[in-house]
Amino acid sequence: MTKFANSRLFFAGVLFLGLLAMTARPTLDPDLWWHLRTGQVMVETGHVPHTDPFSFTRAGQPWIAHEWLAEVIFYLLWKVGGAAALIVFSSVITSAGFLLLYARCQGAPHWAAAATVLGALAAAPCWGTRAQMFTFTFASLLLWLLERALDRPLALLWIPPLFVLWVNLHGGFALAPVLLLLIALGLVVETGTGATPLAEARRLLARILLLTVACLALVPLNPNGAHLYRYPFDTVTASEPRSLILEWQSPDFHRFMYKPFAAVILLLIAGFASKRIHAGARTLVPLFFLLLAALDATRHMPIFMLIAVPLLAEAMPPSPAALSFETRRPRHANRGFRAAVLVFLGAFALWRWTTLSRTQERREAALLPEAAVACLLAQAPSRPANLLAYYDWGGYAIWRLYPHYRVFVDGRADLYGDLFLKQFRTIMGVGKGWSHLLEKQHVQAVLIPSDSALAQALLLDPSWTVPCRDSIGIVFLRRAPGGTTPEGNQDYPNPVVTSRTIVKWPTK
């Protein structure tokens, strides 16, 4: 093995172990909870749901469970190892995507590793136990295979079967044909400008377009069949999630967590201005469109990094020989030093995983209304009740309270649609007709932040009572007809918990 290859392998190990620690996150994504419940339903019944079982506003209506395989994986991991297993798994999946990205970077290994780390920091706001991380890693694998196919065309044969797996893991599978078409458009531009000979471009275009058609033809190979074709369009065209979900909003560069993303953009500009970056249209066209997507919604920043990071590595200055410690140390010293670095980083990643696992319950208690949910669970009526929960708590309510309660709305924005989400925002903001909307939907229980506008309004409404509250949330129950409290209603048992009761999420 040459010194360069040996050094590159070492930096790959350093990068991977470092990323295992960097990308580890507590399992607190608001959507994780309904993913877990959906996975549990599928594991216990052996069937993928095609209608909504969790809400009372969309009960029985068609629902595309487009992440069904990811949900089964998440639930089985949680069942075996609790939150710790989810933390480790999501960290490994994310780090694998960045390792493939590093493999595509040319030049000095340390500059390639540095560029990859910067790209990872820029994508950090999107990390977590999320099905979206499958899309990041599969997109990284797609680009890696496409580059390898320049010398080994048979590498393209791996893409269709991997795409079938992708289709069943996350709705971001639509990114594959989009990337392929953007690369094809870039090839057309290169041909038109004379940068690529027509014969070469024609051969590459034929392969890419054939691969695109193959991927599109394979989309129905999922439990939802051809219905999955429309899901990406429904998601992209929906406007209301932008007002409820931070990752669908543009990055706010005043916030520190978006500074690395700004740094990537500035370094790219500097690289192009200094003419250190030499990229053809097949790279520049995807770069431009993915930059627009990332500026439009933060959830697209990781995908932009898949194109930007190799260009950053190319823009780095050449390294002087003094930076190569192979020439400065005896070979046995190099081996000992490298082994020590790898052992240290591996131990650090393990410590990071262990720390996050041990603090998981405390982090949940700080962000979620555990006592309020326990109160609702203790007062569960004999028949499923209609619960309006705060949007970010809808999934948690499904995980903890289903089937005793069915939610008004949760993180499945594609299921509810823009019009219904606007109605939910009207209720939460105490807009015009909010009380009528609550009555129209026959809401029986409410779980919302104590400082919300709706909470203040319901405290003044005699038709609602407050059985308990905690430091985060407050529970309202609609009084039974005749003005009696829920305790006097035969559907509700007497409360047996106080606002200080805490029911922790089990570790297994």
Would 114 be classed as within a structural domain? yes
Would 503 be classed as within a structural domain? no
Looking at the 3D structure of the chain, how many domains does it have? Answer: 2
Query: In the 8-state DSSP scheme, what is residue 80?
Result: H
d(CA 183, CA 282): 5
Pair 297, 390 in one domain = no
Pair 185, 294 in one domain = yes
Pair 299, 373 in one domain = no
Along the 508 residues of the chain, how does pLDDT read in single tens digits?
555 567 888 999 999 999 999 999 999 999 999 999 999 999 999 999 999 999 999 999 999 999 999 999 999 999 999 999 999 999 999 999 999 999 999 888 999 999 999 999 999 999 889 999 999 999 999 999 999 998 899 999 999 999 999 999 999 999 999 999 999 999 999 999 988 898 888 999 999 999 999 999 999 999 999 999 988 888 777 777 777 778 888 999 999 999 999 999 999 999 999 999 989 999 999 999 999 999 999 999 999 999 999 999 998 887 654 445 444 555 555 788 888 999 999 999 999 999 999 999 999 999 999 999 999 998 888 789 999 999 999 999 999 999 999 999 999 988 998 889 999 999 999 999 999 999 999 999 999 999 999 999 999 999 999 998 888 999 999 987 655 444 444 444 433 333 333 333 333 3
Identify whether the C-beta of residue 410 lies closer than 8 Å to the C-beta of residue 54. yes
Pair 317, 188 in one domain = yes
Pair 30, 130 in one domain = yes
Pair 74, 182 in one domain = yes
Task: Give pLDDT tens digits for 188-207.
Answer: 999 999 888 988 889 999 99
Pair 157, 267 in one domain = yes
Pair 239, 386 in one domain = no
Pair 299, 409 in one domain = no
Would 361 be classed as within a structural domain? no
Pair 167, 295 in one domain = yes
> Among 407, 404, 408, 398, which Cα is nearest to 383's?
404
Task: Give pLDDT tens digits for 48-106.
Answer: 999 999 999 999 999 999 999 999 999 999 999 999 999 999 999 999 999 999 999 98
End-to-end Cα, the chain, rounded Å: 46
Give Cα separations from 136 to 58, 66, 456 (angstroms).
Answer: 31, 16, 42
Would 385 be classed as within a structural domain? yes
Would 317 be classed as within a structural domain? yes
Pair 120, 203 in one domain = yes
Would 46 be classed as within a structural domain? yes
Would 82 be classed as within a structural domain? yes
Q: Tell me which of 288, 323, 358 is where a domain ends.
A: 323
Give Cβ neighbours of residue 81 (< 8 Å, ≥ 6 apart): 88, 508
Task: Give pLDDT tens digits for 204-252.
Answer: 999 999 999 999 999 999 999 999 998 888 877 777 777 777 888 899 9
Q: What is the pTM of this model?
A: 0.89
d(CA 190, CA 283): 10
Would 2 be classed as within a structural domain? no
Give Cβ neighbours of residue 86 (< 8 Å, ≥ 6 apart): 27, 32, 74, 77, 78, 129
Pair 231, 315 in one domain = yes
467: helix, coil or strand?
A: strand
129: helix, coil or strand?
A: coil
Task: Kindly provide the b/e burial profile for residues 440-476, where b requires at least 16 CB atoms within 10 angstroms of the residue's own CB.
Answer: ebebbbbbbbeebebbeebeeeeebbebbbbebbbbb
Burial of 269 (0-12, 13-18, 19+ CB in 10 A): exposed
Q: How many C-beta atoms surround the C-beta of residue 237 within 10 A?
A: 8
The values of phi and psi at residue 48, to 5°, are -85, 125
Provide the domain limits for residue 398: 368-488
